[in-house]
Structures are given as structure tokens and as C-alpha cells.
Amino acid sequence: MSDYEGFNGGDDDLSLPRATVYKLIGEMLPEDVTCAKDTRDLLIDCCNEFIHLVASEANEICEKDSKKTIAPEHVLDALKELGFESYIKEVKEAYSSHRQQLLKERMKRGTKLENSGMTEEELLASQEALFAKARMNFENRNKSISDGSGPPSVVAPQTSSDSSATNMQQSSTDSKPVFSNDN
């Protein structure tokens, strides 16, 4: 059974990764307590069922709001509707922490440009130079292929019943193989 097989064992069911859940279980239990595999599997099934229940309820709330995307508010409303009000505070804290982490990552990406020491004009000129170099490399490669100076064409091998055999010769001035048909 793979990490992502569902609680019914089918590939179509979505499930939490077993290794991750096993690790979480190990972190939550005291060091002197162990958990049987059957118990861990049952906990995974319960987690999957809980997620499906909350997601289904959040989807219904989302549809009632005439929205196409489930928002965090829909999940919070689903928890409240299903009687899991005690989880709402912790979920809000986790969501807030997640948003702060995303903002930090966005700021970090933005400051890379600011810390480069280049003005916007210099950055644009550098970008244009990179585009021009890439365009020139692309055109040179295409030109060398079309005029025959590029990589050799590969000729399909002929069967022994053909009257002329295909030979591969090594050029003395060039390390590239040369393909030819002897007629």
C-alpha cells in the first residue's frame, strides 16, 4: 500500500502521506509510549475522514455564497457548522502564521532586486542583453543546422536486403561522425 492510498485502499481516494502522519504521531506521544501499526492506520483513516467532512461542508458553504473557490472563511464556517468550534482559534493562528510566512517570502524575492545595486534602467539593459545573446545563440544554432555545418543527420539503418549499405566514417579533421550512403 503506497503513502497516498486512501482509507479504502483505492487509488482514487485521497489520503495523507503515511510517513508524515507516522512522524506526527511519534512527535505527539511521550517517548516511552509506542503506537501499534493498526492504531496508526486507524488514526490516518480518522484524519482522512475528518478532512473530507470539513472539505465537503466548506464546499457546500462556498456554493451557497455563489463562489467557485473555497476560502479560509469557508473552512472556519464549516468547522463551526460541524461543531468543532474549539479548533477555530488554533486554525486561525495557523492561517495567520502561514500568511506571514508567505509575505516574508514575497518580501525576500522583492529585496533581491533592490539589493542588486543596479538601477531599474541597468536591470532592463542587462535583461535585454541576455535576451539578445540567447536570440543570437538560437539563430546561430539554427543557421548551422540548415547550412549543414551543424550536427550530422542520423540516417536510419538499412536492412541486409538493401543493395547499398550505410557506412559510418570518422573524418580525420573532425571528431564528429559522418554518415554517408555508398552507392
Could you tell me how many residues make up the chain?
183
Residue 62 lies in a domain: yes
Provide the whole-model pTM: 0.53
Residue 178 lies in a domain: no
pLDDT tens across 11-46, in order?
445 788 999 999 999 999 999 999 999 999 999 999
Residue 17 lies in a domain: yes
User: Coil, helix or strand for 102?
Assistant: helix
The C-alpha cell of 165 is what?
549499405
User: Can you name the residues that pair with 180 across neighbouring β-strands?
Assistant: 167
Q: For the chain, how many helices (H) and strands (E)? A: 5, 2
Q: Same structural domain for residues 8 and 69?
A: yes
Q: Same structural domain for residues 113 and 66?
A: no
Q: Same structural domain for residues 74 and 96?
A: no
| Cβ–Cβ under 8 Å, residues 82 and 88 | no
Residue 149 lies in a domain: no
Higher local confidence (pLDDT), 156 or 168:
156
| Cβ–Cβ under 8 Å, residues 3 and 16 | no
Q: Same structural domain for residues 42 and 93?
A: no
Q: At 174, phi and psi to the nearest 5?
A: -130, 140
The C-alpha cell of 80 is what?
463551526
Residue 59 lies in a domain: yes
Taking the CA atoms of the chain, what radius of gyration do you get in angstroms? 31
pLDDT tens across 95-148, in order?
999 999 999 888 877 676 667 778 888 888 999 999 999 999 998 888 777 776
Domain count, the chain: 2
Read off the DSSP letter of residue 70.
-
Pairing relationship of beta strands 166-170 and 177-181 according to DSSP bridges: antiparallel
Q: Looking at the predicted structure, is the pLDDT value of residue 90 above 90?
A: yes
| Amino acid letter, 142 | N
Supply the pLDDT for residue 120. 83
Residue 136 lies in a domain: no
CA distance 2 to 44: 13
Q: Same structural domain for residues 9 and 56?
A: yes
